Amino acid sequence: MRWRYDADPRAVTVHRAAEWLAAAGQERSLMASSLRTYRSALSTAWAIAGGIGSNPLQDAHISRLLAGYRNTRAQQDLDARNRRDDTISLTVELLAAIEPGAPGARAGTPADIMTWAAACMLTFGLNRCGEIFRSTRTNRPAIRADAVTFYDHALSALPRDLEEGNWQSRPLPGLYSVALDRTKADPEGRNLDQRIAATPAVRALWRWMHIRRDLGGRADEPLFTVPGASVSSLSRGRLFAAVASWHEVVRGTAPKVSGKAFRRGGNQSLVASGAPATDMQHAGRWASAGMPAVYSSTVANEQRGLHVSRGLGQLYETAAAAVAAARRGPQ
């Protein structure tokens, strides 16, 4: 059963989708998480195409099919995850360690400043690369400079036209927003613009916006393009190579970097911080509350479990102290 993506998504039925997912899993030996991604992609395509009635991809029959597939592939998926762990996860801690300009690292060129700003946006925003770079699969163009709006600490929008002067001569904004258009979790584009208030990400993008302005960059051009350069546009491959190079300079090894490195790394940092599941779901713009765990390593999930367990212990200790104080009565 070979059901092509270019078929009319509105023609999908529960039976047809089940046949296609089963064939895809068998023929391509996909991980269970990959099959769920296929289901999500088809579900999004159905919604964007204007499907009427209940979404066939969300039918209970499809859920049972995926659950059964997951159970039969448990060991193979575990082996695949172990291999995937060889690919770097760009956590905020690792990002801090390899920042260009730190002792031993290169920095200074507009391309370096631009690439660093892109890496920060992706990691702190838990972005998919397809939300920032040009996507041939969805025909989405690269994000433009006018998709970004800076805000001061009072949450008032700053003028889009940056004033003349060095980027360091003006107060650093409190946050920036990015208009991401449609996403997998929001196919109709109903959500508010993504807002990022992490100071390192704000500082990196603020600096780059001033550099590109000084080089003559226009608001209607791709955000991550060096105006006037022979090789101007930042691509996924160039970003991955730069991150590997920064890592090699600081830590002596050039790791494998993929498009998942940033979104997965940002999520793992949230897990390590003990962020609530709802906060992680919101930060990653996932439709399912279970997705943050999928994007975290086994170690990160175990650490989160320990963090939660310690929190329960602390709650007990606090409650026990209150009971003991009540029993003692006024001193």
DSSP for 212-249 reads HHHTT--TTSBSSB-TT-SS-B--HHHHHHHHHHHHHH
183-222 pLDDT, tens digit per residue, is 666 666 666 688 999 999 999 999 999 989 989 999 899 9
Instruction: Give the sign of the dihedral formed by CA 189, CA 124, CA 294, CA 275.
Output: negative
Three-class DSSP category at 328? helix
Yes or no: say if 10 and 55 are a contact pair by the CB < 8 Å rule: no
Q: Looking at residue 1, what is its pLDDT?
A: 40
Using a pLDDT cut of 90, give the percent of the chain over it: 20
Structure token pair of residue 126: 């838990």
Q: Which residues contact 30 (CB under 8 A, 6 or more apart)?
A: 24, 38
pTM, 2 dp: 0.67
Give the H/E segment covering residue 177. Answer: strand 175-178
Domains of the chain, by residue range, sit at 9-84, 92-265, 298-331
Give me the amino acid identity at 241: A
What's the confidence (pLDDT) of residue 103?
46
List the chain residues with pLDDT less than 70. Answer: 1-7, 28, 77-86, 101-107, 136-138, 163-168, 182-192, 231, 297-309, 311, 331
Taking the C-alpha atoms of residue 91 and residue 89, their distance in angstroms, rounded to an integer, is: 6
Pick the CATH number of 92-265 from 1.10.3720.10, 3.30.1330.10, 1.10.443.10, 2.40.50.100: 1.10.443.10
Tell me what pLDDT residue 17 has.
Answer: 84
Query: pLDDT tens for residues 74-86?
Result: 777 666 655 555 6
Interval 241-283: pLDDT, tens: 999 999 998 888 888 899 889 998 998 888 888 788 888 888 8
Q: What is the pLDDT of residue 304?
A: 64
Cβ 228 vs Cβ 216: under 8 Å: yes
